[in-house]
Amino acid sequence: MARSNLALVDCIRKAAKNIEQSENYQWGHMGGCNCGHLAQEITKLSAKEIHTYALANRTEGDWSEQTAAYCPTSGYPMDMVISLMLDKGLDVTDLKHLEKLTDPKVLRAMAPVLMYPKHNRKNDVVLYMRTWADIMENELLRSVTVEDYEKIELY
């Protein structure tokens, strides 16, 4: 799972909110799908730009196929998008899980509310992303020590 950090948690929460409020959620659109919305938040690229970058890559297909062919030094625009996402703390497995809503840890946490989320149902994606952000946030909170708190300059 992703390296938990506040910036990534914030991006996931914002992407979930954008999906929830958006009229432009499209699972079949590289810039408007589950990963596409998170990519927009991380990279500040538009859905159209991300989709165009994906089409310009050497590989066609969804995010799973794009990440399978990912090469950080290729120079392909979509590989740059993926690199920016990885730099934020994600790994390619996270992107594959997000595209299909399949991370076992997230699914276990969602189970009391929703057992079998559909990867292309907007409300399921929003719940999945918020649950994922909650998991990472809790990991961060568990990792904070008194020594960490003492290092923080409050004023």
One-letter amino acid for residue 138 of the chain = N
Span 101-126, average pLDDT: 93
Q: Which helix (H) or strand (E) holds 105?
A: helix 104-110
User: Torsion angle, CA of 144/95/12/137, rounded to 10 degrees?
Assistant: -20
| Sequence spans of domains, the chain | 6-151
Question: Does pLDDT of 35 surpass 70?
Answer: yes
pLDDT tens digit sequence for 79-111: 999 999 999 999 999 999 999 999 999 999 999
| Closest alpha carbon to 71 in 89, 97, 92, 47 | 92
Q: Which residue is listed with tokens 């730009």?
A: 49
Count other C-beta atoms under 10 Å from residue 101's C-beta. Answer: 24
pTM: 0.89
Cβ atoms of 43 and 50 within 8 Å: the answer is yes
